[in-house]
A and B are shown apart, each in its own frame.
Chain A
Amino acid sequence: MSEPSIFFSEVNERQGVFNRRAFLMGGLAGGGILALGGRLAQLQLLEFDRYRLMSTENQFNFRLIPPPRGRILDRFGVELASNRPNFRVLLVRDEINDIDATLDALSQLIPITPERRRQLLREISRSPKLVPVAVAEDLTWEEFSRVNVRTPELPGVTADMGEARVYPHGGAFAHVVGYVAKVSDRDVAAAGLNPDPLLHHPGFRIGKQGVEKALDTVLRGKSGAVKTEVDALGREVRKDPEGDIKPIAGKTVVLSLDADVQSRALEVLGENSGACVVMDVQSGDLICMASAPSFDANQFVRGLTSAEYRALSEYERRPLLDKALSGTYPPGSTFKPMTALAALDSGMVNPNETVVCSGQMWFGNRFFHCWKRGGHGSQTMHDAIKNSCDIYFYQTALKIGPDRIARVAEAFGLGQTFDIGISGQKAGLVPSTAWKRRQYKQPWYPGESLSFGIGQGALSANALQLAVMTARLANGHKALNPRLIKSIGGVETPSGAAAADLPFKPEHMDLVRSGMAAVANDTTGTAYRASQLGLGPVLMAGKTGTAQVRVISRAERASGVRSNDSLPWHLRDHALFVAFAPYDAPRYALSIIVQHGGGGAAVAAPMAREIMRVVLLKDAAIRARIESPLPMPEAPVSTTGEVEGEAPPPPSDTLLPDAAPTVSGGPTQ
């Protein structure tokens, strides 16, 4: 400093103190600035990475794009589950200051009932701050555009064009295809530590039953994202197409089912409670797997009201239960072919040996009755299957014992579950002496063999098992496995035909099959009238079954057994029928169970006939055979407009020697 201040400064105490203090203050200020610099170094140099990440998270928004869910098709490519556009309005709480005001503004544009509003407020307060909540779905295009135009004035509100699952067949496939529904807390918990962010997307629906559940991850696909630059209010400033991630659509799943057959099965079952399974006896493909009564799967996609859910869950006929897989019933007389085969296989029974049926037999300390009061008289095995004679099978079961029957039943698929790709199968039960010991610590009582021989007692099976049993019998040598899922994303799944051979002699199975043919085609067979397909040379073979669910007392038997119609629904007999066709070259096997339906011949067999007709007519080879004019003595009967239960013209088949059109009425077994 060149200025001569020193010469003129009054050097006194006050100035000395001030200069020291000013130096001190300068030092403090310098120290303060140094401290700020140090803090800057900490934030900008040491913690840079952390704050850069936070800044990027602020700046960019990755908006999830849900992938289109994979379609589910039937064997011919008919859509069983697909997607439709869904216009909806979403709301993100984090971006809204006054939810009430926003909802007020929205209700000017789209209808929001006070009840829906209360529900919404609950939903909004429950969901995480940043997760959008759907205010309204399935809007019309007009409503959607009204909201869309106004979204700039409504921060936190987005008009979103998503996709929703749709089941074009409504209830026909509700059990087997299943349905998707809103993600529950349990679904999120089940997804583990790092759940797919899709689970929190408001439009996302997760598979809850059937194929939708079993193949959920395959059908779901992989979500994409749109990278956008947003400002502090969440408004989109700029898109960054290079940062986008394309969603990968879920894979298409093709089922072995046939939509026409399935729909017809549901139609035929009508208001009844029951199940029907149709299986290809060469490939093991399941053509039909229906459970009735059904419900509209689309209701579950949008969400059921509690009243709707109560109506479904409390209905006596259990629409929510998949009766084809998880309903197990005593197979009744449909099991008699198994007993017969066990008898043949044991070598202890000569099929031509006769058993005299007098209508009842004394065993142990009581009478065992035949379904026919007067008895059948002298019966060979063929007669016994055709007439479903109980006395014959009592005697036979007693002779060969339960374990031989159980072995055959298990070889034909009873008492086990199959890997068809969806869950929910119940194995049912095939009793045996070992089972009795294990379960009850008791020996097998011979009286139990009698019930077992006619498919009652502890024995139980589901419709799928009965279809597999029939298909294996019809196939004749292979232990076919059922296949439901034909292909996933174009990749064929293993066929059910790749299976081991059945350990039984073909001639024994022929014998049993001819008995079943007689059931359907011999004019005295139990299901003759109900089994006539009216498809010319193509004939069906089958076996009726009527399974009791109550004990008939001696007094009642004496005064006359009450008819099913006079009983309350839950006490009526189960009606069953198993069938395969064409008899001479089996292609399709069918099982049908009508819970508390009444008699197998009167109720189940006519239904089976109707379903089997559709199955056969859809098979090109069989259709050609039906339509070939050569051996037809009569004009082909129209396949439509036939009244159920109407007597068809007697077929001219060599199998039936006497074509007497006498048909016995009354309940048959």
Chain B
Amino acid sequence: MTASAITRPGERDRLIVKLAQIDWTFTLVLCLIAATGAAMLYSISGLSWEPWAAKHLVRFGLCLCLMIFLATVDVRIWFISAYPVYGFGLLLLIAVEIMGDVSLGAQRWLDLGFVRLQPSEIMKIGLVLALARFYHGLSAEAARFSWRLVVPVVLIAMPTLLVAHQPDLGTAVLLAATGGAVMVLAGLSLRVVAALAVSVAAAIPPFVMFVLHDYQRNRILTFLNPEADPSGSGYHILQSKIALGSGGLLGKGYGLGSQSQLNFLPEKHTDFIFATLAEEFGFVGCISVLLLYAAAITIALRIASISHSHFGRLGAAGVTATFALYVMINGAMVMGLAPVVGVPMPLLSFGGTVMLTVMIGFGLVQSVRVHRYSEITSGRGTLL
């Protein structure tokens, strides 16, 4: 199959052509990360498929199928559904907010059978789509700095505030950072970015002291001085650092990590799985996995940059930004560089929600690649 096939409108709509255009290198990188995750889950459950490793692989398999299916969905359909998905997500968030914790309680989750989904997770995709959709019709000049930017700011602010109020600070920060990343990618003046960065930095101390809940504040204070109470709230960070540090260059060996095997490491199968990896495979193992993540981010950004539509570019890059933020925040948290905020390592950690979000996002990325020559000429797609 040559690349020329997809330049011809009739030819490129055939399924076989589309499948051939999926970036299989990228897919392989994702498979390697997920397989590493499964291997670690197998290790920490005492060399057993139960209770995590098998489930992790099954979920990844299903998510992979979903990603391949989404890759074949025309980018113009993504374009049309951008605002509806955002609106749907926002409605669910408002519903959660209105009905409150008591009535919804555990129902904050949507159960999709093989995976459970939170409205805030839908929002991670919805926000990227909506912003890309909005910027698609905006000139470079307007995107730089104009009154029109009120729209993306509102688009970002609404779900962020709702999620922050739940309260789920980690997701809120992630949403805000993702939205900000899309705005920057779209061409927001770097002076404005700098000014915002300074004012946010100045706002953090009063925010921490007066707005946050006690337990949230404690997490941050603990992060700043974890040795103060090693068996209390500093325990997680300290144990994680012990797991990492004791891994050394080559690690303690597969299945031999005492920190994770003997439960010293908290949340070893979800948020702290990277520490398990570090303990059993050492510096070499960690760097290999970080390189896989770097490869995934590079390929995804490359895909974004070759798209012919501005929507495709910003959508793919926005998803990549979310993914990269996950990796950075989790990595920094595990290594004691950031407070414990409950952000997992995507695809490596056990947990269906984040995996589903990330794989749907990569479905968009793949779709952008498959449909990179599709033109989206107006506010409405040409397909319908």
Contact = CB atoms under 8 A, between A and B. Distances in A.
B246 A54 contact: yes
A438 to B, nearest CB: 62
Contacts of B104: none
Contacts of A51: 241-242, 244-246
Nearest to B314: A18
B259 interface: yes
A55 B140 contact: no
A41 B282 CA distance: 10
B143 A14 contact: yes
B44 interface: no
A22 interface: yes
B318 to A, nearest CB: 10
Contacts of B317: 18, 22, 25
A14 B137 CA distance: 11
Contacts of B245: 43-44, 47-48, 50-52, 54-55
B248 interface: yes
B262 A26 contact: no
A136 B305 CA distance: 74
B306 interface: yes
Nearest to B294: A33
Interface in B254-275: 258-259, 262-264
Contact of A44 (B248, B308, B328): B248
B333 to A, nearest CB: 11
Contacts of B314: 18
Interface stretch (B28-36, B152-160, B178-186): B178-186
Interface in A1-42: 2-5, 8-10, 12-15, 17-19, 21-22, 24-26, 29-30, 32-33, 36-37, 39-41
Nearest to B282: A44
Interface stretch (A224-232, A541-549, A567-575, A605-613): A224-232
A100 interface: no
Interface string A63-86: 000000000000000000000000
A58 B258 contact: yes
Interface string B205-246: 000000000000000000000000001000000010111111
Contacts of B278: 40, 44
B248 A52 contact: yes
A33 B290 contact: yes
B300 to A, nearest CB: 10
A44 B249 contact: yes
B301 interface: yes
Contact of B262 (A8, A32, A45, A232): A232
Given A14-B310, A45-B249, A50-B245, A36 B321 contact: no
A58 B262 contact: yes
A93 B162 CA distance: 42
B145 interface: no
Contacts of B184: 21, 24-25
B251 to A, nearest CB: 9
Contacts of A94: 231
B321 A25 contact: yes
A7 to B, nearest CB: 9
A621 interface: no
A3 to B, nearest CB: 4
Contacts of B332: 36, 39
A54 B243 CA distance: 9
Nearest to A18: B313
A558 B324 CA distance: 115
B187 A2 contact: no
Contacts of A12: 140
Contacts of A13: 140
Most chain B beta-carbon neighbours within 10 Å: one of A12, A18, A58:
A18
Contact of A2 (B3, B140, B335, B372): B3
A48 B245 CA distance: 5
Contacts of A30: 294
B368 interface: no
Contact of A22 (B258, B287, B293, B304): B304
A519 B306 CA distance: 128
Contact of A33 (B258, B293, B306): B293
Contact of A36 (B242, B282, B328): B328
Contact of B297 (A14, A18, A26): A26
Contacts of A22: 185, 301, 304-305, 313, 317
A354 interface: no
A58 B263 CA distance: 10
A8 B246 contact: no
B301 to A, nearest CB: 5
B137 to A, nearest CB: 11
B366 to A, nearest CB: 16
B181 A25 contact: yes
Contacts of B134: none
A5 B328 CA distance: 32
Interface in A213-249: 229-233, 237
A59 interface: yes
Interface string A95-134: 0000000000000000000000000000000000100000
A388 B181 CA distance: 115
Contact of A55 (B243, B301, B336, B337): B243
13 contacts: A17-B140, A18-B186, A18-B317, A21-B184, A25-B301, A25-B324, A36-B332, A43-B335, A47-B245, A55-B246, A58-B242, A129-B231, A231-B263
Minimum-distance CB pairs A-B, first 10? A51-B245, A55-B246, A232-B263, A17-B187, A231-B262, A59-B258, A13-B140, A44-B283, A36-B331, A43-B245
Interface of B: 3-4, 7, 139-140, 143, 181, 184-187, 231, 239, 241-249, 258-259, 262-264, 278, 282-283, 286-287, 290, 293-294, 297-298, 301, 304-306, 308, 310, 313-314, 317, 320-321, 324, 327-328, 331-332, 335-337, 372-373
Interface of A: 2-5, 8-10, 12-15, 17-19, 21-22, 24-26, 29-30, 32-33, 36-37, 39-41, 43-45, 47-48, 50-52, 54-55, 58-59, 94, 129, 229-233, 237
Given A45-B283, A51-B244, A55-B259, 16 more contacts: A2-B3, A3-B306, A5-B306, A14-B139, A14-B310, A21-B184, A32-B331, A43-B244, A48-B249, A51-B245, A55-B245, A55-B246, A58-B242, A59-B262, A232-B263, A233-B263
